[in-house]
Amino acid sequence: MRPTHPARVSLALALAGALGSAALPQARAAVPGPSRTPVDTPRADTLPTDSIRIVDVKAPAVIAIYAPPPNDSFLDTDDGLATLFDDYMYYWAESRPRLEKMGIGALDETVEWYDRRLRLRVGTRVWPVALPDDVPVGYLFVAADGPPRLHLGVMVDEDVADSARVLTRRRKTP
């Protein structure tokens, strides 16, 4: 695995969506990280609704959800966190074209470092979503027929596409 410089991570966080995968390095090895086990989202009545941002989503979609650190000192002092964000942005940039080719929306949503909650509105349903304090990155897989599924940690682009395919019951595409 190549070394990661915290300044590069900050730049990646700021520009990943705008630059796309062309600005990122090519093939990387799979990255071990927090469990990628799907987590059920909490019941709609378990979080207060007045102060949490609502995000409108058209299903099917995959949403990269992450809590960027409030300043670069977090990344400067924690190489693991810097590597996590670097890998997360790299694989998400690689995932977007695959998802779009499958007809699945690919969205980015940030949440506050100290308050990692938002609500998703899919049609007439509203689902609360929260990242745990110990995992600042994840993916929300949203289908029209049920609650979103939250996968925590970094997933390689093939895993993101495979999970989205299972969610939407689509056949494999290159």
Structural domain includes residue 163: yes
The average pLDDT across 54-82 equals 87
Domain containing 163 equals: 57-174
**Tens digits of residue pLDDT in 102-118:** 999 999 887 787 788 88
The reply to whether the predicted model has a pTM over 0.85 is: no
| Residue 95 domain flag | yes
Residue 43 is classified by DSSP as P
Residue 25 forms part of a structural domain: no
